[in-house]
Structure 1
């Protein structure tokens, strides 16, 4: 390994160019800051590299981290030995998770920002309020929806909080299984609506709509209709002349100066050379697992337990959601086919059961959504035979006659649920991999069971002849949602970051992914993450980089 000449210092480094890093580089570059963006993976070209090839994208892990080169380990008991498992994988490439996602982007609720104020201390959990409120984030939710491209109907969700503007694109048309869901919800008095999607259905910012297929979840989209920072925010940032993208570069540590400020990063370039890049600001946007890992690996005499980790909280309070669901099976000799391959993966959802109703036996709630059962080869049917005539009969009878109603579990933060460094397992560079320790809180189990059972009721009202519930057993990371490992807060003893995603102990270090979430919320987190990344990047460009400081003080009415 060679040491190359150190490049010139830049205004900002952004490590990880997914949803949040892509947002950060856009805001910073358009504000005139000189930025270098790093990503471990390649810079792909959608028209050349993406398609609807199921084997390529689902079975051969085309976009996913190689589990032999970049493993993770997980354990479900403090005393257990962690085992290798691809827990919460994200595509490691320019564009990150926006390359593979289904793209549902509902807004958070006002209650999400003040769970501790609403519910107090919950035994076994570590609830905390956010250091800002929905009203502070709302303008940035709107900015992302319009700049990125989101389809939906303002007001269709009767529980939606204030929004300053509608959606730039009309919603996706309902699928056959979506119509079943809407009919059932109407019978039961449940408010159902088209879930907002990061998809354009009209001409938007030079992008054209296309004939939707349900197989874009887990696949790269070659058309550009699905919103992806690879094809939107990052090219826009490059066009300013202020962003340099360094793909296939692995950042292995953040450097710290004698004054306690981050001075830059050390990375391995595509040729295997070790290179230092200095910057006035360092921003981490690798996702809550890898951002925590990088901070824990960046040890120094000042921070022997990891960068900005004087509180000991880096990696702790990790939340991951979990996708739970119920499958409904229909009769091919009686019912109309659902044709799950047509339309879009998600079609119709509800937040009817989102807010706390203590009669259900838990606090909080989750978004629910109707979907097909995925891919022709890898479709979701719990109990599906695995071989021979029985497998063929099950596929003939049910593939076109199955749907599911899922939920995004609003799991509670628990301090001992965490990411740390595995003491024995190393990655391809010889560095310790992330080890996840997690045990569900009893509220998670109760919420998951209650909502799955309600989803069964909706499926039965939709005409399903048989239902198969899937409850929470343990966290598998199947949503690829990650939060909480460097939580935001006002008190440096109880949090890692302040309200701007700025480390309490290293003031030019910002972490602008889901790591900062004090609580998980019960909706898909990407829109909230991107809006917060925009908000904090704007603060960096307009306030911090000009030598000023601002603090957000919540009024008593907001507490």
Structure 2
């Protein structure tokens, strides 16, 4: 069967396209490398999440090669790659229908107008490839609002210094909040911070055939057993399948996109669940299998027309990969130092903290010593959270202060102290990971996956400016923890990327020489190819990416509908 649209991937970048096109009457096919799991398969299994990485491939079957920079004793630097099968450092985020959106925390902050024009606002930064977006916040705002309605976002608008323009309030009321949320609010007010509620892609009341949140306390990294979390599968693909116009083939690993003499895609080649080679055809093609794997697939799809990979005659595929810069902080609240009421509030399990700070989304501080030495820079977001997973909390108690393994009564005492004497409040910092020439995707010539195809080689160089901004923000979070009375406070900023937040590699732009896609995420070189996952982003912003990926995919889907309809007429 020939389809109107063939989509590779099924996550946040793919599901809005499938949903929109299926609703419009197009025959849509999704090829997803992972299995098709539903709420029935999503248990709150801590071992499966913490120790077994149950929803991702075995690194012996599928892996990446990660290149890091090292220095010799003489001060010379060099890059060296290591397969993740050896390091155990997984860059997979959820190989199932719905992709990593099944396992997100669902922090749905919008980007702000300034995120679309970093180069204009702050100028060039030496060593960084910063570009303005070819669209504006106003272009994307209606689609943010659509995601809030269709995917389901719960929240409350509170005015603060960096509140972005909105056309409407959130369609669902805020989720139940943890008592510690009010502690944060009170401390923030005292020191002049603006504590704001965090919008979450989790239903606070039943709707659209989905249940509301049951406040199990297990959300981040876990599949949602109620359907409350706005995964691409629960919120969009289920409805698209119900139209009769969407076909999903799970366990289908796409390995090559064939192109014809005119340079367009002519077929998709994939392995089915039995390892047999299959081929499908469509009129239009969408690639949305997360940033690294999207670049890998295009680079692997070589042909006479594209000797360096599909849509890569300009050499830009895989370039300007970005993650999310930032850091973390933590502080302990000692039970014996608190009243019985405060202890009871702290021990509450289930409701979300849902608090963030964005007072420094734009830094204007003479004490900030950034790369440009102006005291001004793009800042970021601080989100607060608890680690509810006991296995994760216990991890680390098995060693003493010297790093030696402990057991028996000593281990028992350490575990008892961990769970009965204090609770740790944490925060995460999100700020821009500037695109550079030292962060990109290529193909490894020596390492292959279980099908014999070259794996992606990922260089993870960062920019020093990212660390300066991250440290500045982390110190602001540290000050709030101090005001709250936390003890054992520590902060950490790292140049290592969080592997669940990746974008770039196929950035969109006006100039075909420096970008892979046009402003509608259509390939400059391949007229029937669109890329709709986070690969399109030229800069990442200072919030988690999923909300923006959803919104942009809905925007692009509207353009694909017009493209498909034009093909019908012609």
- For the superposition of Structure 1 and Structure 2, which TM-score range results when normalised by the shorter chain? over 0.9
Q: Which residue of 2 aligns with 1:541?
A: 561
Q: 1:394 to 1:365 in 2, by over 3 A?
A: farther
Query: What displacement does 1:412 show?
Result: 0.8
Cα separation, 1, equivalents of 2:174 and 2:160: 13
Aligned to 1:497: 517
Could you say which residue in structure 2 is the equivalent of 1:316?
319
- TM-superposed CA distance for 1:340, in Å, is 6.3
Q: Name the residue aligned to 1:353.
A: 360
Residue matched to 2:134:
131
SS at match of 1:231: helix
* Residue equivalent to 2:60: 68
Equivalence for 2:373: none
Match of 2:479 among 440, 445, 457: 457
- CA drift of 1:173 comes to 2.5
Q: CA–CA distance in 2 between the matches of 1:253 and 1:275?
A: 11
Contact (CA 8 Å) 1:13, 1:279: kept in 2 or not? Answer: yes
CA apart distance, 1:361: 2.5
Query: Deviation string for 1:351-409 (max 9, x for gaps)?
Result: 11111325323321111111113411112888974634565445434445211111123
* Cα distance, 1:73 vs structure 2: 1.6
Relative to structure 1, is the Cα distance of residues 453 and 262 closer, same or farther in structure 2, using a 3 angstrom cutoff?
same
Which residue is 2:468 aligned to? 446
CA–CA distance in structure 1, aligned partners of residues 462 and 413 of structure 2? 37
> What SS does the aligned partner of 1:379 have?
helix
Name 1:43's counterpart in structure 2: 36
| TM superposition shift of 1:203 | 2.5
Helix, strand or coil at the partner of 2:145: helix
Out of 22, 30, 35, the position equivalent to 2:23 is 30
Question: How much has 1:506 moved relative to structure 2?
Answer: 0.5
Q: 1:493-543 deviations in whole A, cap 9, x for unaligned?
A: 010000010000001110001101010100111111111001101101024
Kindly indicate whether the alpha-carbon contact (under 8 Å) linking 1:74 and 1:87 is maintained by their aligned counterparts in 2: no
Deviation digits for residues 169-228 of structure 1 (CA, Å, limit 9, x no counterpart) = 111222133233222211111111210001111222232323313222111111111112
Give 5+ residue unaligned stretches, structure 1: 1-7, 549-559
Task: Report the count of equivalent residues.
Answer: 539
Q: 1:365 to 1:10 in 2, by over 3 A?
A: same
- 1:484 paired residue among 504, 509, 515: 504
Q: Match of 1:82?
A: 81
Q: Distance in 1 between matches of 2:418 and 2:361?
A: 31
Q: Secondary structure at the match of 1:214?
A: coil
How far has the Cα of 1:547 moved from its partner?
A: 4.7
Within-5 A mapping of 1:131-530? 131-322=134-325, 324-335=327-338, 336-337=342-343, 339=346, 342-344=349-351, 346-357=353-364, 359=366, 360-362=368-370, 363-379=377-393, 385=400, 387-388=406-407, 392-399=412-419, 400-472=422-494, 474-478=495-499, 480-530=500-550
> Does the residue aligned with 1:193 lie in a helix, a strand or coil?
strand
Match of 2:95 among 84, 92, 96: 92
Distance (Å, rounded) in 2 between the aligned partners of 1:111 and 1:151: 24
Q: Mark the CA change 1:547 to 1:9 in structure 2 (over 3 Å): closer, same or farther.
A: closer
Distance 2:539 2:497 in 1: 19
CA–CA distance in 1 between the matches of 2:564 and 2:114? 30
Residue 477 of structure 1 and its aligned partner are, at CA, apart by 2.8
**TM-score normalized by structure 1?**
0.92
Please say if residues 179 and 348 of structure 2, whose CA atoms lie closer than 8 Å, have aligned partners that are also in contact: no
Normalised by the length of structure 2, the TM-score is: 0.90
Q: Which moved more, 1:13-22 or 1:63-72?
A: 63-72
Instruction: Name the CA distance, whole Å, in 2 between partners of 1:170 and 1:126.
Output: 40
SS class of match (2:14): helix
Higher mean displacement: 451-460 or 73-82: 73-82
How far, CA to CA, are the matches of 1:522 and 1:207 in structure 2? 30
Higher strand share: 2
Q: Which moved more, 1:29-38 or 1:151-160?
A: 151-160
Q: For 1:293 and 1:257, how far apart are their aligned partners in 2?
A: 20
Q: Secondary structure of 2:504's partner?
A: coil
| Aligned residue number for residue 72 of structure 2 | none
Indicate how the Cα distance of structure 1 residues 323 and 44 shifts in structure 2: closer, same or farther if over 3 A, else same.
farther
Aligned equivalents of 2:435 and 2:349: distance in 1? 38
Report which stretch shifted further, 30-39 or 366-375: 366-375
Deviation at 1:157?
4.7
Question: How far did residue 241 of structure 1 move?
Answer: 1.2
